[in-house]
């Protein structure tokens, strides 16, 4: 896997606990947009949809940023659900906490995960690959 892809997946993992807020904020931006003052008074008929509710639904349904956030959240959720307890602890401790207390060796020494060091790193890599594959970013090279 390319290092850039791996770093992107790790960023997504770090953002995962805040993903609901990001999605909600983006929906709010789309539902209540800031409308610039229209200085063009008079003139012809606008080509915009006249029903604002329809415009909001179309905007929310077609918004690429919102879709990307939802796809990232779903990919992480599916990957974590398919993972074992040790992998979930690794993700929680290394990525989800704002101020991580442990690194991989600390997780093993304090018996928060029940595997050897090599296996722990393999589980972490497998989670990253699984998320990348779920998002369609997986590159086997």
Any domain includes 78? yes
CA dihedral 108, 113, 115, 121 (to 10 degrees): -80
Ranges in the chain, pLDDT < 70: 35-58, 139-141
Residue 141 lies in a domain: no
Domain extent, residue 69, equals 3-35+50-135
- In this structure, is residue 9 part of a structural domain? yes
> How many independent structural domains does the chain possess?
1
pLDDT of residue 109: 92
CB–CB of 71/135 below 8 Å?
Answer: yes
Predicted model pTM: 0.79
Residue 14 lies in a domain: yes
pLDDT at 57: 61
Residue 42 belongs to some domain of the structure: no
* 41 assigned to some structural domain: no
Specify if 128 maps to a domain: yes
Question: What is the pLDDT at residue 127?
Answer: 96
What's the pLDDT score for residue 55? 61
Asked whether residue 43 is assigned to any structural domain, the reply reads no
Determine the pLDDT at residue 63: 83
């Amino acid at each position: 896997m390319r290092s850039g892809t791996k770093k992107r997946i790790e960023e997504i993992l770090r953002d995962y606990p805040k993903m609901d807020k990001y999605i909600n904020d983006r929906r709010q931006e789309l539902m209540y947009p800031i409308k610039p003052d229209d200085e063009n008074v008079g003139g012809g008929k606008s080509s915009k949809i006249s029903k604002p509710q329809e415009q909001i639904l179309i905007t929310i349904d077609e918004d690429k940023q919102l879709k990307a956030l939802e796809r990232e959240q779903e990919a992480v959720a599916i990957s974590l659900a398919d993972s074992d307890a040790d992998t979930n602890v690794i993700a929680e401790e290394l990525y989800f906490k704002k101020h991580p207390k442990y690194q991989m060796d600390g997780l093993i020494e304090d018996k928060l995960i029940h595997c050897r060091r090599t296996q722990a790193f393999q589980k972490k890599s497998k989670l990253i690959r699984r998320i990348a594959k779920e998002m369609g970013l997986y590159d086997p090279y």
